[in-house]
């Protein structure tokens, strides 16, 4: 029973990791860009949520209404003015520019908010639990977080495969020059993709902010978790990314249960095992 | 008809002359400089080495690693372990630490080489994190908070403090010169030609008979060796070690990448120029703390967008300078007379 | 002489330092079919890419419906009503046949060509609409690429070597559809190495040789010898 609880907690937090990963995976799928500042943008978004919630006196979930569009606009502008210039065959420019961005965001947040860790209060929902079975309790918030994660992945899947903009994303990713012939401005398509990615980041960040304390230095760890989830799940598949997040969450939960100091290490080891045994990931999308 | 290959022209002699003068002047530093100067110079050498090695990996072998701090830390921890736990002489521990680093780099490479491009980059970062977290679990070396070098080991370096400073300074200078020389020699060798071919067009290089995988592997291990040695030396000088310091992404990767970017990737002179610029900025601006770091990030972004070949890249393109000439010119020999 | 729909004047094109076109001038009237022939490397594809905006040109070197479009990027040119069927077809591998067609109509310009009409024109596509575009044969892919361009309801259709790599019978099948396209009033520029088909389908011909127009005139007026001379530069 104890172990079931552990695994359940791992699954639920895995949803959060899947959300971190979804934004990363989307960007890489559309424009072959790995955003090193992704984790820092999650943290930035958490601070935005904090400021919005505290200034307006509203709850975190309500704050989403403002935070999501704000982050989406930041994403669009970031891609349009900065990251679009780095795209190309060489992978160094985007890597280095996003690395620079990561440093700027982290230190900017440090300057404005100091290194003190903070947390977004959500009220009584934070401690509410539901009893699933004898001795098996699950928090309402983690459950909600998991449900939202699944909804986000399903939503992205819908956008990519059932809408015109999704077609535009896939076509531009396939053949950017030919996509132009269809009347699609690549710069705009990429900027929309980044906006979407940061919208997902915004949702994830609110749950992150409510779940535990955060501070400006936590970005890189979120990036790594997101990345590990993508690799474990397999490139190119959004549902794979969800699976990857869940597996990572469970690995960490198991590790933490054995020894609290092993939590993150257990996740890394799970990642390395997948890398060693099945480098293409567990559910890769096979492209003909 | 015989064919000879020559390197550069006038630049050859200028570079060699400048190098010799610089080396002599720097070797004499213990006499004209104070303790602080020696420490600063040692730091500069360290970063020139790290940047040159990263340049070799990323600019030439196409292996963009964001995890070289793994080997800095590995070398440092190996040295401390050897010196403290096994009583090996600290100075001899430096090359030994290098060998340990190289040895561990082999299974690491086997793993991370399964990833490509950006994913390879982050994969190397994760490996470094694994090393860092594992080091925190080693209580014999202080666990998460680290440990200091015991007095007995410190004395074993050299009997007096001045002598210790001089010895470690010269080792640092020697290591830097050796690594630079090694890189130049490597790039002028057959392997160097292979690397340049791989950098420019990997598929074409493979078709021309270059064993891409093996060449990359070799470069990765050699760089790990040098990095681990350097890591051991750096922390020997600091006399103290901790997982966060030894495996710091900021200190050993972020700054290194910025240096290489600012200086110019894919050119030997780049890391040197970049290091000098970096330290000039640091000496003048470091008081600004986080603002300084933000400015570094901004400078790196601006340069990457505006001058992707870095400062030296711009200069070299404009004026065609080369201090360490690598461009090969084919000179045909005598024609056969009938 | 009515004002030309497309007017290319003294067009120069470069790939880096390499000059591919040296002052090429071409005109296409509304609803007209024009062939551009020439040997490999003569500059035919370069001409189409310049018109379509994939290669930048001098702003006034290319005029469409009276407006200079030479300096416009490809997506803006497409928005003006020019559709290119690219060399090698350029279908999107991640998209199904139907999705490829749909994205052709991304701009939403109203006109005669709808999904239903494309499937009428090319029944083979209708039968395979949900398949990934990579599952089609060469001829079917060419039809899909053509259909995709038509979905934009263009005023000018540029076809870059649509016969390339296809068996003659398949080529005839595809060319047999072109009259239906012309019937809607769309002007067509056919770039071809297959001279026979191109001449049969067009009213006027330009022959390019090493980046210059070596010969031009009405298809029926040009003799085989004249064309061969221009084609090969003999």
Does A22 map to a domain? yes
In 3D space, the residue among B222, B207, B231 whose CA is nearest the CA of residue B93 turns out to be B231
Residues 6+ apart with CB under 8 A from B203: none
Whether C108 contacts chain A with CB within 8 A: no
- Over 60: is that where the pLDDT of B92 sits? yes
What's the rounded Cα separation, in Å, for the pair B212 and B220?
A: 12
pLDDT attached to residue B334: 47
**Chain B residues contacting A via beta carbons under 8 Å:** 58, 64, 66, 111-112, 114-115, 117-119, 121-123, 125-127, 129-130, 133-134, 136-137, 249, 254, 257-258, 261, 265, 290-291, 293-294, 296-298, 300-301, 304-305, 308
Asked if B293's CB is within 8 angstroms of A103's CB, the reply is yes
What per-residue confidence (pLDDT) applies to A120? 87
Mean pLDDT over the full length of chain C: 90
Percent of chain A whose pLDDT exceeds 70? 99
pLDDT tens profile B258-291: 888 888 877 778 888 889 988 988 888 877 778 8
Residue A232 covered by a domain:
yes
As given in the structure block, the two tokens for residue B264 are: 């110019």
Name which of C73, C92, C94 is nearest A180 (Cβ-Cβ).
Answer: C73
Q: How confident is the model at residue A28 (pLDDT cuts 50, 70, 90)?
A: confident
Condensed to tens digits (0 to 9), the pLDDT of residues A43-55 reads 999 999 999 999 9
Average pLDDT for residues C32-51, to the nearest whole number? 90
Residue spans per domain, chain B: 3-249
Residue A216 lies in a domain: yes
Q: Give how many domains chain A has, as a whole number.
A: 1
Give the Cα separation of A44 and B289 in Å (integer).
20
Contacts of C135 in chain A (CB under 8 A): 288
Nearest CA-CA distance, residue C226 and chain A, Å: 35
Determine whether the interchain pair C103/A168 forms a contact, defined as Cβ–Cβ distance below 8 Å. yes
State CA A282 to chain mean position distance.
Answer: 19
Largest CA distance in chain C: 49
Higher pLDDT, B61 or C80: C80
Phi, psi of C218 (to 5 degrees): -70, 140
ipTM, interface predicted TM-score of the complex: 0.90
C94–A173: do the CB atoms touch at under 8 Å? yes
Report CB contact under 8 Å: B305, A228: no
**pLDDT tier, B184 (very low <50, low <70, confident <90, very high otherwise):** confident
Among candidates B133, B136, B305 on the partner chain, residue whose Cβ is nearest the Cβ of A97: B305
Q: Report whether pLDDT(B196) > 90.
A: no
Picking from B324, B313, B317, the residue whose alpha carbon sits closest to that of residue B270 is B313
Cβ pair C186, C31 in contact under 8 A: yes
pLDDT in tens, B294-332: 888 898 888 888 877 777 677 777 766 666 555 555 555
Q: Name the token pair of B252.
A: 């050993």
C111 touches chain A (CB under 8 A): no
Considering only alpha carbons, which residue of chain A is nearest residue B297?
A100
Does the residue A288 lie in any domain? no
List of E strands, chain A: 129-133, 136-139
Q: Which of C218 and C1 is assigned the larger pLDDT?
A: C218
Taking only the tens place, the pLDDT of each residue in C92-144 is 999 999 999 999 998 988 999 999 999 999 999 999 999 999 999 999 999 99
Average pLDDT over residues A259-278: 90
The pTM is what? 0.87
For an interface test with B, the pick among A30, A104, A251 (most B C-beta atoms closer than 10 Å) comes out as A104
Using the Cβ of C86 and the Cβ atoms of chain A, whether some distance falls under 8 Å is answered with yes
For A244, the domain range is 2-277
**B249's tokens:** 């992404």
C200: phi then psi, degrees, rounded to nearest 5: -65, -30
**In a domain? residue A285:** no
Reading the block at residue B45, the tokens are 């050498």
Domains belonging to chain C, first-starting first, are: 6-232 (3.40.50.300)
Q: Taking the alpha carbons of B185, B188, B190, B195 in that order, is the dihedral positive or negative?
A: positive
Residue at A282 is within a domain: no
Tokens of C41: 């490397």
Average pLDDT over residues A239-267: 92
Please tell me the number of Cα atoms within 13 Å of C130 on its side-chain side.
Answer: 1
Answer yes or no: is pLDDT of A287 > 50: no
The pairing of strands C6-15 and C62-64 is antiparallel
At residue B12, the pLDDT reads 66
């Amino acid at each position: 029973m104890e172990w079931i609880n552990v695994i359940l907690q791992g699954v639920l937090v895995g949803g959060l990791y899947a959300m971190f990963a979804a934004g990363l995976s989307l960007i890489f799928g559309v424009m072959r860009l790995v955003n090193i500042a992704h984790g820092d943008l999650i943290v930035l978004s958490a601070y935005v949520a904090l400021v919005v919630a505290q200034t307006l006196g509203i709850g975190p979930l309500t704050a989403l209404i403002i935070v999501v569009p704000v982050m989406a606009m930041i994403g669009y502008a970031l891609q349009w003015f900065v990251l679009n210039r780095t795209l190309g065959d060489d992978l160094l420019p985007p890597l280095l520019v996003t690395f620079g961005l990561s440093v700027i965001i982290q230190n900017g947040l440090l300057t404005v908010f100091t290194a003190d860790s903070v947390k977004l209060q959500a009220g009584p929902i934070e401690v509410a639990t539901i009893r699933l079975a004898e001795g098996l309790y699950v928090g309402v918030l983690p459950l909600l977080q998991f449900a939202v994660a699944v909804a986000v992945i399903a939503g992205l899947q819908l956008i990519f495969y059932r809408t015109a903009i999704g077609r535009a994303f896939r076509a531009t990713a396939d053949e950017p020059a030919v996509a132009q012939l269809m009347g699609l401005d690549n710069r705009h398509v990429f900027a929309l993709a980044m906006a979407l990615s940061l919208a997902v980041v915004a949702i994830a960040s609110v749950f992150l902010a409510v779940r535990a304390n955060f501070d400006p230095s936590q970005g890189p760890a979120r990036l790594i978790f997101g990345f590990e989830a993508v690799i474990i799940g397999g490139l190119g598949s959004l549902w794979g990314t969800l699976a990857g997040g869940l597996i990572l969450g469970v690995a960490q939960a198991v590790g933490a249960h054995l020894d609290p100091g092993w939590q993150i290490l257990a996740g890394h080891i799970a990642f390395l095992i997948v890398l060693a045994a099945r480098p293409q990931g567990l559910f890769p999308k096979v492209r003909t | 008809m015989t064919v000879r290959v020559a390197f550069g022209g006038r630049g050859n002699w200028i570079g060699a002359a400048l190098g010799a003068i610089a080396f002599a002047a720097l070797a004499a530093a213990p006499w004209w400089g104070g303790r602080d100067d020696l420490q600063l110079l040692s730091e500069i050498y360290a970063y020139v080495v790290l940047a040159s090695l990263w340049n070799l990996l990323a600019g030439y072998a196409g292996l963009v690693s964001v995890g070289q701090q793994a080997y800095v830390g590995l070398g440092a921890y190996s040295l401390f372990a050897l010196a403290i736990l096994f009583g090996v002489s600290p100075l001899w521990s430096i090359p030994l630490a290098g060998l340990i680093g190289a040895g561990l780099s082999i299974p690491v490479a086997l793993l991370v080489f399964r990833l490509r491009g950006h994913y390879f980059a982050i994969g190397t970062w994760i490996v470094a994190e694994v090393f860092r977290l594992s080091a925190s679990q080693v209580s014999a070396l202080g666990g998460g908070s680290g440990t200091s070098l015991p007095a007995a080991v410190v004395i074993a370096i050299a009997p007096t403090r001045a002598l210790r400073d001089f010895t470690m300074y010269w080792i640092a200078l020697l290591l830097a010169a050796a690594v630079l020389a090694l890189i130049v020699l490597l790039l002028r060798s057959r392997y160097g030609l292979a690397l340049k071919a791989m950098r420019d067009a990997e598929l074409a290089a493979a078709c021309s008979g270059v064993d891409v995988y093996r060449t990359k592997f070799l470069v990765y291990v050699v760089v790990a060796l040098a990095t681990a040695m350097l890591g051991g030396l750096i922390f020997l000088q600091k006399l103290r070690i901790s997982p966060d310091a030894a495996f710091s992404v900021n200190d050993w990767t972020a700054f290194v990448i910025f240096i290489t970017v600012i200086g110019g990737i894919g050119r030997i002179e780049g890391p040197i120029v970049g290091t000098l610029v970096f330290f000039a900025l640091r000496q003048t601006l470091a008081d600004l703390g986080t603002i300084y770091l933000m400015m570094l990030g901004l400078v790196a972004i601006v340069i990457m967008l505006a001058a992707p070949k870095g400062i030296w890249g711009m200069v070299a393109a404009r004026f065609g300078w080369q201090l360490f000439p690598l461009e090969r010119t084919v000179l045909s020999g005598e024609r056969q007379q009938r | 002489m009515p004002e030309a729909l497309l007017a290319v004047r003294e067009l120069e094109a470069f790939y880096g330092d390499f000059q591919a076109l040296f002052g090429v001038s071409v005109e296409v009237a509304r609803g007209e079919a024009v062939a551009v022939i020439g040997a490999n490397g003569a500059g035919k594809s370069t001409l189409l890419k310049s018109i379509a905006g994939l290669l930048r040109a001098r702003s006034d070197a290319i005029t469409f419906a009276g407006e200079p479009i030479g300096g416009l990027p490809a997506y803006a040119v497409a928005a003006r009503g020019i559709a290119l069927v690219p060399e090698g077809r350029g279908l999107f591998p991640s998209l199904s046949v139907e999705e490829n067609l749909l994205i052709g109509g991304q701009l939403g310009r109203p006109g005669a060509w709808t999904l239903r009409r494309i499937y009428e024109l090319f029944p083979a596509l209708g039968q395979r609409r949900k398949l990934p575009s990579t599952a089609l044969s060469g001829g079917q892919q060419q039809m899909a690429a053509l259909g995709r361009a038509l979905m934009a309801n263009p005023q000018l259709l540029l076809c870059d070597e649509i016969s390339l790599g296809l068996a003659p019978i398949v080529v005839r099948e595809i060319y047999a559809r072109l009259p239906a396209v012309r019937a809607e009033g769309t002007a067509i520029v056919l770039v071809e190495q297959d001279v026979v088909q191109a001449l049969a389908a067009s009213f006027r011909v330009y022959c390019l040789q090493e980046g210059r127009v070596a010969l031009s005139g009405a298809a029926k007026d040009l003799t085989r010898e004249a064309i061969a001379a221009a084609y090969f530069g003999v």
